[in-house]
Chains A and B, each alone.
Chain A
Amino acid sequence: MAQFNLNINGNSMNVDVDPNTPLLWVLRDHLDLVGTKFGCGIAQCGACTVHVDGEAVRSCSYPVSVIEDKKVVTIEGLSETGDHPVQKAWLEHDVPQCGYCQSGQIMSAAALLKKNPTPNDEDIANAMNGNICRCGTYTRIKAAVKTASQSL
């Protein structure tokens, strides 16, 4: 066990965990930030996507020990009231079905738009390919990313 001081959603948070603990489980079990989901544990499905220093990363495969002073943003910290352009676009297109993968999808989309505010279809497919949606909402996700892009 070791002490870690983390910067999460702009707040300083302390945890005492095994240094190998993935960020995912630190968020979910220790900090009660459960919007970030567990899907595969091997960075293949994207349900656990968060931002670390603005980059979309798979928190299930990201040990807490390497975070150091990097800034972590989770779905809970993407906006204060759910009004990030990506979240608004998701609501406008009524994207979710079961909803389980969607926080990961939204975090991937937000990271994409930060780097590339006007992605084309191929850019969207490339950036979002790591996020599986078992319900198959891909066409709506694409439409929502485009809507968000226009409102940036």
Chain B
Amino acid sequence: MTLIDKKLNRRSFLKVSTLAGGGMILSFSWLAGCKPTAEEVLTMPDEWFEINSYIKIGENGAVTLFNPNPEFGSNVKTSLPMLLAEELDVDWKYVFVEQADFYPERFDRQFTGGSQGIRSGWKPLRTAGATARHLIVAAASQAWNVPADEITTNAGTIEHKSSGKKAGYGEMASLAGTLEVPDPESVKLKEIADFKIIGNSKKNVDGIKIVTGKPMFALDHKVEGMKYAAIVHPPAFGMKLKSFDKSSVTSLPGIQDAFEVKVFKDDYSRNFFDTTTFPEIIAIVGNSTWEVLQAKKSLKAEWEKAPESTFPMAGRGGQAMDIKVPEGLENSSSHKEKMAEYITKPGNVLRKDGDPEGAFKSAARVLERTYSAPFLAHNTMEPMNAFADVKGDKAIIYAPTQAPELIRQTISSSLGIPLENVQINLARMGGGFGRRAYSHHLTEAALISQKIQAPVKMVYTREDDMSAGVYRPTYAATYRAALDGNNNLLALHVKAGGIPESPIHANRFPAGAIDNYLAEGWQIESNITIGAFRAPRSNFIAGAEQSFLDELAEEMGKDPIDFRLELLKRAETNPVGENNDYDPKRYAGVLELVREKSNWSSVPNGVSRGVSAYFCHNSYVAEVVDVSIKDNQPVVESVFAAVDCGIVVNPDAAANMGEGAIVDGIGNAFFGEMAFENGAPTKTNFDKYRMIRHSEAPKKIEVHFVDNKEDPTGLGEPLFPPVFAALGNSLYRATGKRLYEQPFQPQIMQMENLRM
């Protein structure tokens, strides 16, 4: 029943595979009863022809498109190939999508982050698709001896109408593959009005694999002879390894070895994404995950306080600079004290328009508020892990990483093998959110494999993952507004900082809308490592700014949407200063759309609502959050989002991404918090680190897109930052209390008899 003759042709294979699935009689009646559908025939081309790096076409017309970017859940594996398929002019039904491995010589920008996948793929991938179509047409022109401009294409077929000649792409693919590639500049792209695939929702190409539990993640990878590894890192920031007793674990069942792993070579100049909290860790290697995880608990290790140290960082122009790692075991309470101190001190002036000092002196009233938010852990559901097989001077890595290019340099240096011998295969990531732009886990696995001379799969426990740093920083922002006797806004002052960076985007709204404006920043050094976290800096400053504008509107007796629109009108018609990095009209557009979609002025009974808007990653988002109070607890009833991210490539998937960002924002606003005691994270697993769950998610989310013809911009991040304030502002209306400190939940718990 399972005999498959490899030499059989495609139709025979189909026949045999049918036999394997359903037995002889069934398969016979299947063959007798119906012809294979086009899709079934297309599953097995005899031969594939490579048209360009991104596209292969089978002799039967099946099309394989390669997704260049690592997939962490933003659905680039579906939406980037849609760009190729659109211009190639094929039927999406016949398209197979494969994840490209990391191959910088062939693919541009194999990086997932900064919400730039679609924006930066928009022209190159469409051009790649159009070029392939051009080659198919040129091949047909040659084969049929007719002018290329008389040939039309439609859904994978080519036609020369006047001669009645017609063929599938597959019939021209072998010839097309031999033709000279035209100059990309000369290849014509489709008009927006002619799009058939872009703008029409396509299901996740990996949907069936996900819901049936197929191996897709690095953690699912296994090869013959593979060992398993766990790591042990210092228990606190500011600590390092002193010594450990190898024999405390090597006598345990299934344990092969334990050794120290030094992630970097001493003279290696790190790059920006080389952030690693603990450059020296202990690896335990054994025969199964459970055995190495058990051994972790038995490992006897001594840790000591790390003195202040420096490491070389590669700067622009190849000059290395020394980066300082301060000593000390830090505490959240002392962080708060230090931040309170910096709030009162002058900061670094980042932007100044007009005469803010004078305006504050002459003000009848000053509204001043300070907002803060804690460190956050990314907590991707799949913990850090990597598979590595290092043999001689070659390394194969299969791992979840958002940024393979940068870590390849690190791995090459740490292993001491040539860059081109490090092959990184891109696994689907069980979440990224910025965390996997920092890929030290790949280097660690590679070094472990090199040491044991065998393939290895290294996995962090949740505790390792949550306590390994690379957090969203803690921030504080103080906003001041000067008002005259008639409640006119004279000046705005923002001073914001954090540990260890400031969250200010000095040229963003409301800069440009206010005559007298001052932005200052400050930062406090720390040995707690930080990294990009979904919409870095924006994910805090949006909440502070938009909460402040809400309170200011109230002080001025204005509707919060009207007030923002007034400011944006000013920025549009008579902008203040230079380098304002937003388009006030598009900004206003999302506020107007959310006002319409939420039916802003008619608030449902028993519901309180708040609004917020923000611009980041080249996109504009306004959100309205509706909350009610049930059993003394806030319930998020509805969220309305209006988004201007230009042309929406895959609308339903885009809405999914937006819904997720909103849930993520609500979760972090209510609960998100990482704290420290004597350098140690106080939360290391989900029993203490509270994540939003089903019952706390909004009951309803509507994501609306502005319909325009602008080139696409970011989407994975922009819906996240504005939620914090939209939620805070709605909670104010529900409770009568403004919330200045995240997370909100502990303060809500202290409110008695929440008013309705």
Contacts and interface: CB of A to CB of B under 8 A. Distances in A.
B494 to A, nearest CB: 29
A29 B213 contact: no
Given A18-B291, A22-B290, A136-B662, A106 B211 contact: yes
Nearest to A108: B694
Interface stretch (B332-340, B602-610, B696-704): B696-704
B228 interface: yes
Contacts of B219: 34, 37-38
A44 B689 CA distance: 10
B204 A136 contact: no
Nearest to B432: A98
Contacts, number: 194
A139 B663 contact: yes
Contacts of A30: 288
A98 B203 contact: no
A131 B290 CA distance: 22
A101 B210 CA distance: 9
Interface in A90-143: 90-91, 94-103, 106, 121, 124-126, 128-142
Interface string A9-45: 0000000011001100100111011111111111011
A34 B220 contact: yes
A113 B305 CA distance: 53
Interface stretch (B3-11, B374-382, B404-412, B480-488): B374-382
A139 B431 contact: no
Interface in B209-229: 210-217, 219-220, 222, 228
Contact of B208 (A44, A82, A100, A124): A82
Interface stretch (B24-32, B69-77, B470-478): B69-77
Contacts of A29: 228, 288-290
A134 B206 CA distance: 18
Contacts of A90: 207, 210-211
Interface stretch (B114-122, B177-185, B651-659, B707-715): B651-659
A149 interface: no
Interface in B605-621: none
A94 B207 contact: yes
B210 to A, nearest CB: 4
Contacts of B220: 28, 34
Nearest to A25: B290
Contacts of A18: 253, 290-291, 294
B686 A44 contact: yes
B15 interface: no
A55 interface: no
B212 A87 contact: yes
Given A45-B462, A96-B211, 11 more contacts: A21-B288, A37-B430, A42-B462, A42-B687, A45-B686, A96-B206, A101-B381, A134-B380, A134-B691, A136-B659, A137-B659
29 contacts: A25-B288, A29-B290, A34-B219, A34-B220, A35-B213, A35-B214, A39-B381, A39-B383, A41-B293, A42-B686, A74-B213, A75-B212, A91-B207, A94-B201, A96-B73, A96-B210, A98-B382, A98-B428, A99-B206, A100-B381, A106-B211, A126-B695, A135-B73, A135-B660, A136-B667, A138-B663, A138-B692, A138-B697, A140-B656
Interface of B: 72-75, 201, 203-204, 206-208, 210-217, 219-220, 222, 228, 253, 288-291, 293-294, 379-383, 428-433, 459, 461-462, 652-653, 656-657, 659-664, 667, 685-687, 691-695, 697-701
